Amino acid sequence: MSTARHLRDFELRPDVLAICALAIPIGAVASVVAWALLQLIGLFTNLFFAGRLDTTLVAPHNSHWWVVLFVPVLGGLIVGLMARYGSEKIRGHGMPEAIESILVGGSKVQPKVAVLKPVSAAISIGSGGPFGAEGPIIMTGGAVGSVIAQFLRLTADQRKTLLVAGAAAGMSATFNAPLASIMLAVELLLFEWRPRSMLPTALAVTTATICRWSLLGTAPIFGLPDTVLHLDPAIFLCCAAIGVLGALLAIVATGLVYLSEDLFGRLPLHWMWWPAIGGLVIGAGGLVEPRALGVGYDVIDELLHGNATLGLIFGILVVKTLIWSISLGSGTSGGVLAPTFMIGAALGALVGHLFPPVNPGFWALLGLAAVLGGVMRSPLTGVIFSLELTHLWNALLPIVVAASIAYLLSALVLGRSVLTEKVARRGYHLTREYSVDPLEVLFASEVMWTDMVTLPGDLSLRAALDDFTSPEHVQERDRQHRQRLYPILEDNRLAGVVTRRDMLEVTFGPDDDRLLSDVMVRSPLVVHADHTLREVANLFAEHGVARAPVVDRDDHGVLLGIITVTQLLQGRHRDLVEERTSERVLPLPWARRA
């Protein structure tokens, strides 16, 4: 068989260099946008709760109960008005909108979204909304990449790459987590694992992180001392247990978000008013546990350092979960990661009172990783994220255990995650399973028909039709009808092809004494024996055909066989057999004796 010299491990064209060059300034702009968003959140928080102009990032706090209760309502009302009269795309937590743009929107984001999304998120969070900045910055960074790409003559795939590069760069600039941002792009946004998209994303993230160091510093967001952890088998059993609990909490929180969305959908009010109603829920929750409001980085830091009281732990676990789920279902603007961090850390801090002591904040970190794995369903991202946020590198193995268990149970119980359910509710389907395409494994030479019907070019159409319909050649006629495409040979070399339909249409016309060579297609689409079935499928789709002759790569006159869509399905069938057929390869010793 041919060595298929035309094939490579990766399809990478020189134009990737131009996309990489574009990704660098996109990463720089995304870092500035992330910094600006944090400044805006600080500005609106101070303005709403303290009545002062200051961009310092502070916790929402006011001694007057009516301020705590009604400021979130005001924020929700402003966001609702911005969504209705500005762009509906600013509703939600950002990631589903980015995914939808990639899946069905050609990776085209309206320029105004790049402005309205961060402003609406800053108002929502600054007025006490229990959200994070990462979802909006992902959407905003993605909008920056998309808008820049739209000014250039690029393909939809190249626009997608720049959109995702901007989104991942914004996330990295927010959390100082470059590797987790790249992994999030791969596991959630790119829908592929290819150098053409991963390399520009990595460059944008690297650029954004370096710029972030100048703007916001190099320290981890929730830095923990990287001390030696003494872990025995019992500890790992507890890690598995916290993974189970994290999955259950993730399932409940996800269910609450979409139950809330369903309930809001039944209200006899325009959706513009829903964020204000969600704001009333936030304000009521703030009266019960004021520290559940806002981004809550200070609370997460206390939980991870083991300094939180039981009252705060319970308050965050219950109040934060409820107000985040209900208000997010109202369609306001805000992210899911920071609330997930806080809720997960509270869960871990709570069960840490029952588990063996390891390190201050160890169990809170495990809870954070578990809930993150269950909510996002991106386990590698969750593991790396947890480590980059804290720099507690010695906790790698326990985090893998907790996050993987949570991911397992969440994926078994829920068909969609909190990040993808909204996309599915809009009538779209996406799969997050990446696997080798079975059509890439087989070559055309392995499935083509070699026992084919060929016809000479000097045969008349009438003679060909008589041969088709002759009762003496029933088996031959069966094979002819199944083939439908007939290579025409001249001097034993492929000269063209004719289809059965073309032959019949011409034969039953007024001019039926012509030869096959007169009606054949002289430059047909041909397939090479060393083409993979995926390449064949692409050729069929590009040219709108369902069958083609297979010829030698070096000499197109040498006919080797015929390949049709039916043969392409053999690759899929082999994959199904390997997936579903169970067999015992090695016999059991006692079964052999019996």
Q: Measuring CA to CA, how many Å separate 257 from each of 323, 339, 419?
A: 10, 13, 11
**77: nearest Cα among 271, 263, 276:** 276
Q: How far apart are CA 395 and CA 230, in angstroms?
A: 10
Sheet harboring 455-456: ordered strands across?
455-456, 485-490, 493-499
Supply the pLDDT for residue 511: 56
Percentage of the residues of the chain whose pLDDT score is greater than 90: 34
pLDDT tens profile 559-588: 999 998 888 888 788 878 877 888 777 777
76 in Cβ contact with 275 (< 8 Å): yes
CATH fit for domain 438-579, picks 3.40.50.720, 3.40.470.10, 3.10.580.10, 3.40.50.2020: 3.10.580.10
Mean pLDDT of the region 289-316: 90
β-pairing, 527-528 vs 547-551, is parallel
With 50 as the cut, is the pLDDT of residue 206 above it? Answer: yes
Supply the pLDDT for residue 592: 60
Taking the domain 233-425, which CATH number applies? 1.10.3080.10
Q: Do 233-425 and 16-216 have the same topology in CATH?
A: yes
As a dihedral over the C-alpha atoms of residue 301, residue 307, residue 311, residue 313, rounded to 10 degrees, the angle is 40
pLDDT, greater one: 288 or 10: 288
Q: How far apart are CA 544 and CA 234, in angstroms?
A: 61
Which residue's structure tokens are 């260099």?
17
β-pairing, 493-499 vs 527-528, is unpaired
Supply the pLDDT for residue 1: 45
**217: nearest Cα among 225, 205, 229, 209:** 209
With 80 as the cut, is the pLDDT of residue 274 above it? Answer: yes
pLDDT, greater one: 495 or 3: 495
The tokens for 578 are: 């390997």
What CATH superfamily is the domain 16-216? Clc chloride channel (1.10.3080.10)
pLDDT, greater one: 44 or 571: 44
Q: How far apart are CA 83 and CA 77, in angstroms?
A: 10
pLDDT tens profile 455-492: 888 887 777 777 666 655 555 555 566 778 889 888 88
Q: How far apart are CA 394 and CA 227, in angstroms?
A: 7
Q: Measuring CA to CA, how many Å separate 70 from each of 53, 131, 286?
A: 20, 17, 10
What residue spans define the domains of the chain? Answer: 16-216, 233-425, 438-579
pLDDT tens profile 341-387: 999 999 999 999 899 988 888 999 999 999 998 988 888 888 999 99
Supply the pLDDT for residue 235: 92
Supply the pLDDT for residue 121: 86
pLDDT tens profile 499-520: 877 777 665 655 557 788 888 8
Give the range with max mean pLDDT: 16-25, 121-130, 257-266: 16-25
